Structure 1
Amino acid sequence: MTQSALPALFISHGSPDTVIADTEAAHWMRGLAADIPRPRAIVVASAHFEVSGGVAVSADPSPETIHDFGGFAPELYQIEYPAPGEPELARRIADDLVAAGFAARPLEKRGFDHGVWAPLKLIYPEADIPVVSLSVDPNKGPDHHYRLGEALAGLGREGVLVIGSGSFTHNLGAAFPALRAGKRKLDVPEWVTGFTEWMDSRLAEGKVDALLDYRKQAPFAVENHPTDEHLLPLYVAMGAAGEGFAAARMHESSDFGVLAMSMWRFDPAMAEAPGA
C-alpha cells in the first residue's frame, strides 16, 4: 500500500528559551515525532530567515547553529543543532520555485536560525534528519507565501516534512513586560482570543480567501501582528498541503499571555485523516 503523504505543519516556536522552558508547548513538541511518520528530510520556512525580493534556500552541507537573540540564559547560547543540510534537495527546491515564477536561489553558508533549530531540538533532538531552511519575504504578504507553499506541494509525498515556523500571534511589545519579569502564565486578553478564534474557525473550514485577507478581515489583526513575518510561515504550510487540504489544530496554549502557541497540521486532500 502506498504510504500517505506527510502533513505540512505550522509550529509556533515562541520565545527562544522555549527549548529549555517548562511550558505546555515545549512538552507537546517533545512528543510530536511519535504522531507522524519519520521524514527523510525536513524543509523549514522560518520567520527569522528574511530575504527581500526573492527566495533563498539553504544549501550548506553542514549548517552552523545561529544564536540570533540576546539577553537570555547563558545555557541557551551553548545549544547546538548539528543536523546535516541537503544541498541536492535545496537546489531542486530552488529550481522548482524558479519554474513556478519565483526569484529563487540556493544559498550556502546559511546556518540554522532559532526559528529552525529551537523547535527541531524539541521535536527531533537527535539532529539526524537533513534540514533545509527556506526564507520568507517581509515585503510580501500571505498570497505570495501561500503560492510559495504550493510550489512545494509534492514534497510530502516524497517523505519530506514541510514546516512553517513562526508564531500564531506575535506582538513582542505587549509580551516584553511579562518576558522580562519571567511571568509566562498570564490571562489571555480579549484582543488575542478574538484574533485566534477567528483564525481557528477559518482554518478549520478551509476558508483560504479569508485567511489570505486576514489583515483586513480578522479582528485585532494588526494588534497581534504589527508586522506579519511570523504568520507568513503558516501560509507556506497551508500551500504545501495542496488544494483542498484538511486542517487540524494539534495544540493550543499561550506564553506570556499574548503569544498564542497554536500548532496546526495540514493534510493533503487525499491523505488519510489523522487518527484513522
Structure 2
Amino acid sequence: MKPLFLAHGSPMLAVEQNEYSRFLQHTGSSLKPDAIVIFTAHWETEAVTISSKDDEYETIYDFYGFPDELYQVKYPAKGSTKVAALVGKLLSDKGIPVAYDETRGLDHGSWTMLKHMFPKADIPVVQVSVNPYRPAVEQYRIGEALRSLGSQNILLIGSGVTVHNLRAVNWGRKEPESWAVEFDDWLIEKMNEHDTEALFQYDSLAPHARMAVPRAEHLVPLYIALGGGDPASTPTIVFRSYEFGTLSYLSLQF
C-alpha cells in the first residue's frame, strides 16, 4: 500500500464532478486499505497530534462563503484507537513527540477527498496534524517513521497542495502560470533524482519558492508522504492539473 500525496484544492471538490474528482473515485476503487492515516494541512499543532477515537467523526466545515449544499455534506467515517496507537508508537520509537486528540472531527483537507475515494465511509480513518514550522527534513522523518504502515495494508495520505498562494489565483484563467509549473517541475525533477538534500532546501533552491509557498502548511504533507515511501522507488505522478492559473493539483504516489 504505497503512500499518496493528494491535492485537496477547493472545498467545492466535495460536490463537484470533474476530471480530478473522477480520478479520486477511480483511485479509491482500486485500493482496499484496512485503515487510512491522513496528514491534513488544515490541522496545525506544535506536536504531532493523532486523532484517537473509535466512534464517528464530526464533519468540520472549516471554510466560509460557499454554497449551502457544501454545508450539508457529511462524511461519517469512524476512527480507530488501535491504528492511532500504532502511529503513535512508530513515531515515539523514532524520538518524535506525539499527542492524542479524542474529540476533533475531520476537516476539509480530509473529507472532501475521502468522500470521492471511499464513499461508503466504511474504512477507519486516523487524522494527523502538521507543524509547518518544522524544517522539511523533519517532515520527511515523520513519514520515514511510518514507512511500515504500507506493509500492514494501511494507506498513508498527505493532503495538501504544492503551489498554494491564494493571493495569486486568477479566477478566470484557464492556463497555468509559468512560475507555478516551474516550481512543480523542480520538485518532480529532484524527487526523480532522489535528491532529498535539495528538496530539504526547496525554499532557497526551487524557482519561485516564495511565490508558490508563502506558508509551508500545504507543502508539509508532501514531505511526509515522500518519507513514507520506498526511497529506492521513483515517485509516480498520478494526476496533474492547475486551477485558476496557480492552484496546483499535482498528486503523487510513492
TM-score (norm 1): 0.88
Compute the displacement of 1:108 (Å).
0.6
**Match of 1:41?**
35
Do residues 86 (structure 1) and 74 (structure 2) align? no
Counterpart-to-counterpart distance in 2, 1:21 and 1:213? 36
AA aligned opposite 1:114: H
Report if aligned partners of 2:133, 2:216 keep a CA contact under 8 Å in 1: no
Do residues 195 (structure 1) and 190 (structure 2) align? no
**Match of 1:131?**
125
Counterpart-to-counterpart distance in 1, 2:157 and 2:97? 21
Do residues 56 (structure 1) and 49 (structure 2) align? yes
Counterpart-to-counterpart distance in 2, 1:194 and 1:233? 20
Matches within 5 A, 1:1-276: 6-35=1-30, 37-52=31-46, 54-61=47-54, 62-175=56-169, 178=171, 183=172, 186-266=174-254
Secondary structure at 1:154 match in 2: helix
Counterpart-to-counterpart distance in 2, 1:264 and 1:236? 12
Counterpart-to-counterpart distance in 2, 1:55 and 1:40? 22
Counterpart-to-counterpart distance in 2, 1:95 and 1:139? 23
Secondary structure at 1:139 match in 2: coil
AA aligned opposite 2:151: R
AA aligned opposite 2:60: I
- Number of residue pairs matched? 253
Counterpart-to-counterpart distance in 2, 1:239 and 1:76? 33
Provide the aligned C-alpha RMSD in A.
Answer: 1.3
Compute the displacement of 1:23 (Å).
3.1
Q: Which runs of 5+ in 2 are unaligned?
A: none
Counterpart-to-counterpart distance in 1, 2:25 and 2:33? 16
Compute the displacement of 1:98 (Å).
1.6
Compute the displacement of 1:168 (Å).
1.7
Counterpart-to-counterpart distance in 1, 2:19 and 2:197? 31
Compute the displacement of 1:134 (Å).
0.9
**Match of 1:271?**
none
Report if aligned partners of 1:40, 1:130 keep a CA contact under 8 Å in 2: yes
Moved over 3 A (4+): none
Compute the displacement of 1:96 (Å).
2.1
Secondary structure at 2:132 match in 1: coil
Counterpart-to-counterpart distance in 1, 2:231 and 2:239? 23
AA aligned opposite 1:99: D
Compute the displacement of 1:212 (Å).
1.4
TM-score (norm 2): 0.96
AA aligned opposite 2:196: V
Secondary structure at 1:249 match in 2: strand
Counterpart-to-counterpart distance in 2, 1:21 and 1:207? 37
